[in-house]
Structure formats: C-alpha cells, structure tokens
Amino acid sequence: MTQDTGRINLRTDGMTCAACSSSIEKAVGKLDGVKEVNANFSNNVVSVLYDGSKVGEEQIVAAIKKAGYDVLADDPDILAERERSNASKIRKELIVSVLFTVPLSVLVMGPMFGLDLPLSGEPEIYSLIQLILCVPVLAAGRRFFTKGYPALAAGTPTMDTLIALGTTAAVLYSVYATIQVFSGDHHSMHSLVYDSAAVIITLVSVGKYIESRSKIKTNDAVMGLLSLTPPTANVIRGGREETIPAGEVRVGDTIVIRPGERIPADGTVTEGRSSIDESMLTGESMPAVKNEGDKIFSGTMNTNGSLRMIAEKTGKDTVLFRIVKMIQDAQGTKAPVARVADRVAAIFVPVVILIAAVSCAIWFIAGKGIEFSVLVLISVLVIACPCALGLATPLAVTVGTGKAAEHGVLFKNAAALERAGRVTTAVLDKTGTMTEGRPSVTDVVSMIPEAELIRYAAAAEMRSEHPLAKAVVSYAEENGIDIAEPSDFVSEPGGGVRCTAGGKEVAVGNAEFTGVGPASGASCLSAEGKTVVFVSVDGEYAGCIAVSDPIRGTAVSGVSSIKALGVRPVMVTGDSEDTAKAVAGKVGISEIHAKAVPEDKLNIVKELQIKGENVAVAGDGINDAPALMQADLGIAVGSGTDIAIGAADAVIMNDDVRSIPAALEIGRATLRNVKQNLFLAFCYNAVCIPAAAGLPYLFGLNMVPEMPMLAAAAMSLSSISVVTNALRLRRFEPLSMKG
C-alpha cells in the first residue's frame, strides 16, 4: 500500500438490498482514484480503498449522497441508537399494517370460508371499506415508495422499486375496479385486489423487521466491546487522586485501578500485583497475573489487587479500539464468493421488471384478460425481490467475524475468512508459535559449585541481547545468585561471548568457541531438543547449561485438531535439526524444515502453492513476515511483532495454539453457511419466478388470483430463511476449542 493509499469505512443509511449496495458501488467506483469499494447492506458499511492524491473523503461522501443514501457520523453510540430507532420505526409501521390488513383480509377472504359478512351484499360500501382499510397500510409502507421510485428514476431500481411497482399496480387496478362498481358494474367487485397490496406490504415489512433486528444482534457483539471501557478513571494529578471521565485520560497519567474496576487505557503497571480478566481480548477464561512492568489493556477487568499504571495509549489508539476497528473493517468487506451474488443483483431487478412486463403482455395477448395479466405482473414483481440474495453473504460474514472475535481470532477482511475455509496445509513456526518463545534454563551440569558456574555464565551473558543469554541471566536472578561485574566483554556471532569476571577468564558459547571440545558436552541433552551452552573458566571446562523453549500447553491438542480437519501440518523453523525433530515429535508433526531462513520459509510456501495447496502460515516474528504475506492465509499471534501482525490476514490475540484450527473451523463454517444461503436464495428465485409468471396455470392450476399474496409470503419467507440460517452461526463452537 502506497503512502497515498488509504481506506475509509463509512456508515450509511438507506441500504435495503443487494441492488442498493450495487448502486453505491457503481457511484463511488466511477470516481478517479477509487481502487476498491464494497457496500455491505447487512451492516450499512461502505468500505473504500482509494488514492488520496486523486480523491478525498468529501468526494466519496458526496457520491454516496448523490446515489440517494445518507452518510452517518462515525460514533458507535449514535449508530447503535440509529439502528434501534430504525427497528422501532419498522415495528410501529408493521403493527399499523397488521391492524388494518387482518380485517381487510377477513372482509375479502371470509365468504370463501363460509363467513356471512353483513356488507358483502352492498358492492359500493364493500369496495369503499376495502379502500379505506388499505390506505393506512400504504401509508405505513410509504418507505417502499419514497425509496423505490427515486431509485427507478435514477436508473438503479432496487427491491423497494419492485414492491412499489407491484403494490401500485394492485392499487391502481383496484381503484379502477372500484370506479366501475360505483358506475353500476357490480361484477367488478370481484376484481378488487386491495388485500393483495396490503398483504404484500405487511409480509415484506415482517421480513424487514426481522432483518433490522438481525443487524442489531450482529452489531451488538462488536459494539459491546467498546462499552467495556469504563466511563470514569481515577488519576493522580497535582499529588492527589481525582475521578475524571475516561475520555479525558492523557498519555503519561498515573491511574489507580481498584479491585472490580475496568482499566481505562493501555499502559504499564508501575505498582501492585493483581489478576486481570483479559477474556474480552484473548478469549482466555483464566485471569492473567500482572506485576510491576507488565502491560495491561483498556477494557480488561482488575479482579483482586490494587494497581497503579502509566497510561501509554488512550481512546482510538488502544488495543480494544483497534480490535473493534479491525472487525468493522472485515465486516465492511466482501468475500470473493459474494461477487457471484453481486453480479446477479446488478442486473436482477431490471431483468425482473422486464420479465413481469413481458409475462403480463403475453397473457393479455393470449386472451386471459386484464385482471389475470395484472395479477401476473404484480406476482412477478413482488416474488422476485432480491432480499435473500443480497443477505446471503454479508450477514454470514458479519456473524462469522463476530464469532471468530469471541475466540480471540481477528480476521482483517471477509476474503481472509473465506480463504480460512479452504486451507489444506498449515505451515507452523516453532519458536513463539508451537513453543512459548521464552527460553528458560532446564538443566545445569557443573564441574564446580553450581552457583559459581551460574555466576560466571550470567556475568558473560548479561550484556548480550540473545534469548539464550537472557534465559541464563534470568535463571541467576530467580535463584538469588549475585552476578559478577564483567569487563573486557567480547562477542562472536554464532560462537559465544568472552569476558573477565571475578578475576577469571570466562567463555560461554558452543563447544568449539569455549575450546572444551564436543566430548565434554551433554549429548543426551541435545538429543532432547535442548540447546546446550558450554562454560569454560580460565580455559578449563566448568560445566554446561541446557536451555529449552517450553512447548505451549495447547500445542499437542492444537496440532491434533488441525489434523482432524484434514489439514496437513508442516513445521518450519530456523532452529537446529535435533531441536526441530524433538519439538515436532512431541506435538505430533511429521514433516519439518529446520535451519530455515526467511527466504527458505517463503520458498517452502511457494512450493506448496505450486502443488495446488491452499496454505496457511502461523508465525510471530519478523522472519515470518515474507511467508505470512505469501500465504493464502497469514496468521499472526497477538504477542508477535508489529511487522508480523501487519503482514498477516488474521491475528490471534492469545497464546492458545488451538485458535489456529479454530480459525480454520470458523472459516469453513462461514463458507458453508454462505453457500447454503446462496442455494436457498437462487433456488427460491429459480422456482418462484416461473410460478408467479403463471406457469402453474398451463398445468391446470388456477392459482393466479392468490399469487400476489402467496408471492409476498414466499418472498418474506425466503429472507427469513436466509437470516435464520446465517444467525445459526452464532451458536457455532469450534471443536478444537473443546479439546
């Protein structure tokens, strides 16, 4: 991404179907400098990738407004309130529709079921009452007309356009029949279809209300994360403690956090010890113990002891806000499979209008009369609304990314979520992924007093930044051993270090560097996969120290779950062959690549892809970044480097290896759900449009009089079925997290 390239996510109001999102994408996509635009109508997010040197946010917003849609302020509370207000408004409109549609339907359908209604013998009054009962329903459903006809005039017809055209045709035809009744043609009373128009609006409103509720449910989980930030914070200012709004916390403030309080900013513990519930970030149920010098994060809960911290990141810079932003970014994008639905939706509405007009004309020419032909027209227009088609992918992606976040997995975009469902090979880094990434001393073999050996070794290692050196120094500190002050420090990369400590010449490193020879070492320790550091004092072998990077507690079950998914695990590491084999043997991986430099890791991924494998790479270091970018799915662990996280498609916010197969499981479940939704939507249209066009009549089934109402019911049910199927993902739990 170049310096001028940026991405913005804009919240809109007014999108109701896939045709709406398509019209926005066309309008914004025409702007010079816009590289990619995705409009997701399941959560009303428009995500735009653009060249800032050619086009700005103001022009993008203007294009969206010109297409007929509002752009809302990017305030989570305002947006959540707007969603709820919209759902409440639709609910009120639905109640009005039901209150007038039910008596209207009883009035029309009652005689068919043997009900003796008092006004059925008075055609004029009977017709007028139907009109009076229909008007409030039309008023309650006015949004279909106020949005549908402007969209038609703009050349971008939508679902609302189909509803508006269908109900308008039904009402106009009924008004014409009513005039005929008042003119003395009482037989025209049987041509009234006011009830069809009312039932269409009511049933479609049922579907719209369910959609509005589903949007609230899918967004609540994400917005709920932001609500975890406490409203106030206790800060030390001017030498005394005061309570201020959390939004006023500044970088550098000292904050006091008492038991039971949530942390208002990201920072470092300066005083105290406590257990912090970080489950909302990592998915880990067990609280993490935090001591002086440890990092703590906004929104997490202090469970017992009191702490003091220095605020280092506040507001939109916190990890919590970045997580929410990443989820929103993912939900604002589209998976490649969604392009199938998009291409269909782009031409679907105009084609349906054409089919409706042609079907009406054919039946009229065939001599079936105006009533029959108009009913066919209404039925096709109503039954073909592409609600289900448009909901199929974005709703499943929105639920899928939310479910992944619950398990500490953040997908950066919908495409990554889809690719997770197609992975066939998982390339796993050893250090920091299969292991804890924190080497520690496991064995000491000493020819002199052990404390003395450690004292000399730590003195030589204390100025080194190597992980093995840090492990030796930490071991000395943990065991209360005083470290001698070194001098004449010399470091030889790949060999070891030399210094003078306590008047002795000390060398720490491999056998060749220390001059003690391989025969002096502990070969059995090396065979166990441990790294052996030799120590010589004044040229004499003093002993050796074995250092090992502990295998993560969930590594074995994590690899087992990867295999259970039919995915091949491959370990790639820069460590020695013996160490790699030892770790791979313990976790259950048979294919390993040791002594791999970053270029080797990259080439291994390329070779697997050439063989037709869909490759996921999991790593945490800078050396993993090239492979993460090359992979079909790059997975960075949250404790890894910023470079690794930046290169990856997904981020695991915990240290649980089982999250890797969980990400693949959720990807598969989402992809499966999308395919099910698309199948439901396509099959529905494939079956229902010919039926609405009058095909059953050719086989002796005269269903046309009831078709407009049946069409409205079927269209509404198709949306409900897709929404219900997508929301099933909320109950999905990865099997790998249960092991």
Task: Supply φ then ψ for residue 284, to 5 degrees.
Answer: -75, 130
For residue 733, how many other CB atoms are within 10 A of its CB?
14
Separation CA 475–CA 540 (nearest Å): 23
429 counts as catalytic: yes
Take residue 79 and report the two structure tokens written for it: 């947006």
Separation CA 179–CA 473 (nearest Å): 98
The dihedral over CA atoms of 535, 541, 543, 547, expressed in degrees to the nearest 10, equals: 40
Take residue 94 and report the two structure tokens written for it: 């639905």
The CB-side HSE value for 602 (13 A sphere, CA atoms) comes to 10
Contact 717, 204 (CB under 8 A): no
Residue type, 632: D
Angle between helix 555-564 and helix 577-587 axes, rounded to 10 deg: 70
Q: Residue 306 class from Cβ within 10 Å (0-12 exposed, 13-18 middle, 19+ buried)?
A: middle
CA-wise closest residue to 223 among 82, 31, 389, 337: 82
CA distances from 226 to 66, 209, 437, 695 (A): 32, 26, 31, 53
Separation CA 647–CA 504 (nearest Å): 47
Catalytic residue among 160, 429, 575, 656: 429
Contact 420, 407 (CB under 8 A): no
CA distances from 144 to 162, 298, 603 (A): 9, 44, 56
Radius of gyration of the chain (CA): 34
The CB-side HSE value for 309 (13 A sphere, CA atoms) comes to 32
Separation CA 72–CA 35 (nearest Å): 22
CA-wise closest residue to 270 among 299, 298, 290: 290
Separation CA 195–CA 617 (nearest Å): 59
**475 contacts: CB under 8 Å, gap ≥ 6:** 440, 441, 454, 458, 545
**307 contacts: CB under 8 Å, gap ≥ 6:** 256, 257, 269, 271, 272, 273, 274, 290, 296
Separation CA 496–CA 486 (nearest Å): 15
The CB-side HSE value for 310 (13 A sphere, CA atoms) comes to 7
Contact 95, 59 (CB under 8 A): no
**563 contacts: CB under 8 Å, gap ≥ 6:** 569, 588
Separation CA 666–CA 421 (nearest Å): 7
Separation CA 213–CA 611 (nearest Å): 45
Separation CA 581–CA 589 (nearest Å): 9
The CB-side HSE value for 260 (13 A sphere, CA atoms) comes to 0
The CB-side HSE value for 361 (13 A sphere, CA atoms) comes to 6
Residues with a catalytic annotation lie at: 429
